[in-house]
């Protein structure tokens, strides 16, 4: 019975001091909303990144890049490296058993691209017709490159969907002329949407041109930055990668002890690298939201201390009529926990709403891990207990005579 009276008393006091109760709940609500949001955004981002990686770098893929540059979806070069050539890739295709197809790649820094009076800085990549299969990326409108485009170093271009949005607005881009660094190109296709690569570069804001056009007409070079191979069977990948390294070292006249002037990546290495990066990402976001929850706990503790000061006479009167110190301690802890848990539950609901809105804007799947929901209930309870201990003990320690003065 006494426990019920304490609960009813706590609820009446919280209802009487609505503004204070609201601000205490708000501190926890913001923290739990942030926690739910960051866990969900992290999980959704991870799912999307891994999905993109599996699409562009499936189990039968092998990537070779010039120098020590590591690449996944696009080369990340440490300066200009000129050691890799199309002839190297041709030799590999001839000597390594089980190669299904391959694609050389050249990459240029962002170029000034214009259509009429609209312009943007856009990354330009050189590819072969095989890129459609090798990179698992076709066109949603128009056509891909063909062998004639490659043989003639044609000034034709495939553009990403973001390029369409930037330059063409309400105009059909097919057969329109764009200017890349003031050189005219005819748009022959619009590439499939793929989203950002693991480095955060938007692959929908890029342009493909024939590899021969990039090398001869735009850069006047005889080297490439990378090449990607597809094997007939994923089981051949590891052995093929070792054989490719042997061929490149021989062709590049590298002696024993000399470091490779190329980098070879297999699907296992790519996934391990991505997972390491995502672990850091998934650790960093909850830390930030945890800090906001900590601030919320400090707010709760301070407001409860103020509550103790304001209710000194009430505490003295209750003690004078027989309330024990542990009853006062329990009441203040109860009030704190009820408020923080209520704030946590509302925070979960608000966080889920935020997740749905953010997922739509970021084009990632809605993914709310169970741990986010569990923490949304457990953490406010712990915060309530920790934040309420000092105010509750202070209230319980008041002497009736002193409190009633």
Are 66 and 44 part of one and the same domain? no
Residue 242 lies in a domain: no
**144-158, 167-181, 188-202, 275-289 — which is least confidently predicted?**
275-289
- Averaged pLDDT of the chain: 81
Q: How confident is the model at residue 229 (pLDDT cuts 50, 70, 90)?
A: very high
> Could you give the number of structural domains in the chain?
2
What percent of the chain is predicted at pLDDT more than 70?
Answer: 80
Are 362 and 279 part of one and the same domain? yes
Are 204 and 338 part of one and the same domain? no
**Residue 329: per-residue pLDDT:** 75
**Residue 3: per-residue pLDDT:** 56
pLDDT digits (tens, 9 = 90+) for 3-13: 566 566 656 66
Average pLDDT, stretch 96-124? 93
Are 178 and 291 part of one and the same domain? no
Residue 268 lies in a domain: no
**Residue 346: per-residue pLDDT:** 83
Average pLDDT, stretch 99-105? 96
Identify which of 111, 74, 106, 73 has the alpha carbon closest to the alpha carbon of residue 89. 106
Are 159 and 84 part of one and the same domain? yes
**Residue 19: per-residue pLDDT:** 75
**Range with top average pLDDT, 45-54, 226-235, 331-340, 375-384:** 226-235
Are 216 and 331 part of one and the same domain? no
Residue 245 lies in a domain: no
Q: How confident is the model at residue 224 (pLDDT cuts 50, 70, 90)?
A: very high
pLDDT of 75 > 60? The answer is no
Residue 238 lies in a domain: no
Are 179 and 136 part of one and the same domain? yes
Are 103 and 214 part of one and the same domain? yes
Are 23 and 82 part of one and the same domain? no
Residue 261 lies in a domain: no
Among the candidates 199, 232, 265, a domain finishes at 232
**Residue 315: per-residue pLDDT:** 67
Are 74 and 31 part of one and the same domain? no
Residue 286 lies in a domain: yes
Output the pTM of the full model: 0.67
Residue 248 lies in a domain: no
Among the candidates 214, 232, 250, a domain finishes at 232
**Residue 71: per-residue pLDDT:** 47
What percent of the chain is predicted at pLDDT more than 90?
Answer: 41
197: containing domain? 61-232
Residue 251 lies in a domain: no
Are 219 and 353 part of one and the same domain? no
Residue of higher predicted confidence among 283 and 334: 334
pLDDT digits (tens, 9 = 90+) for 346-396: 888 887 887 777 777 766 677 777 776 777 777 777 777 777 677 767 766
Name the token pair of 256.
Answer: 């024993």
**13-17, 50-54, 353-357 — which is least confidently predicted?**
13-17
Are 224 and 87 part of one and the same domain? yes
Q: Residue 327: CB partners within 8 Å, gap ≥ 6?
A: 2, 6, 318
pLDDT of 312 > 60? The answer is yes
Residue of higher predicted confidence among 288 and 207: 207
Q: How confident is the model at residue 78 (pLDDT cuts 50, 70, 90)?
A: very low
Cα separation, 88 vs 223, whole angstroms: 10
Residue 275: exposed, middle, or buried by beta-carbon count in 10 A (0-12, 13-18, 19+)? middle
């Amino acid at each position: 019975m006494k426990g019920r009276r304490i609960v009813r008393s706590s609820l009446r006091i919280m209802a009487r001091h609505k503004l204070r109760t609201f601000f205490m709940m708000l501190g926890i609500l913001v923290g739990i909303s942030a926690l739910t949001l960051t866990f969900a955004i992290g999980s959704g981002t991870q799912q999307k990144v891994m999905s993109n990686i599996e699409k562009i770098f499936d189990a039968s893929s092998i990537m070779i890049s010039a120098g020590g540059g590591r690449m996944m979806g696009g080369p990340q070069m440490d300066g200009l490296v000129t050691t890799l050539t199309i002839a190297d890739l041709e030799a590999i295709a001839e000597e390594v058993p089980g190669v299904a197809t391959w694609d050389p790649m050249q990459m240029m820094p962002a170029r000034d691209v214009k259509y009429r009076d609209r312009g943007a800085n856009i990354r330009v990549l050189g590819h072969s017709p095989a890129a459609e299969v090798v990179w698992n990326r076709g066109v949603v409108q128009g056509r891909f490159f063909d062998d004639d485009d490659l043989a003639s170093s044609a000034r034709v271009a495939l553009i990403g969907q973001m390029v369409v949005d930037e330059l063409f607005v309400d105009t059909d881009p097919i057969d329109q002329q764009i200017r890349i660094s003031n050189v005219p190109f005819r748009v022959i296709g619009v590439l499939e949407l793929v989203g950002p690569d693991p480095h955060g570069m938007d692959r929908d804001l890029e342009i493909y041109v024939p590899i021969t056009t990039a090398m001869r007409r735009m850069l006047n070079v005889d080297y490439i930055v990378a090449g990607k191979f597809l094997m007939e069977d994923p089981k051949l990948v590891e052995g093929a990668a070792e054989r490719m390294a042997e061929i490149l070292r021989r062709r590049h006249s590298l002696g024993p002890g000399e470091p490779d002037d190329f980098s070879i990546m297999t699907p296992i290495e790519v996934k391990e690298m991505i997972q390491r990066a995502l672990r850091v990402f998934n650790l960093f976001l909850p830390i930030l939201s945890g800090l906001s929850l900590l601030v919320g706990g400090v707010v709760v503790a301070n407001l409860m201390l103020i509550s103790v000061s304001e209710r000194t006479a009430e505490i003295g009167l209750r003690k004078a009529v027989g309330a024990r110190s542990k009853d006062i301690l329990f009441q203040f802890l109860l009030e704190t926990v009820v408020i923080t848990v209520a704030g946590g539950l509302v925070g979960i609901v608000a966080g889920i709403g935020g997740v749905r809105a953010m997922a739509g804007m970021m084009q990632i799947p809605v993914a709310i891990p169970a741990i986010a929901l569990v923490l949304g209930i457990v953490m406010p309870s712990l915060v309530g207990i920790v934040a309420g201990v000092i105010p509750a003990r202070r209230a319980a320690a008041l002497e009736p005579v002193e409190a009633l003065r």
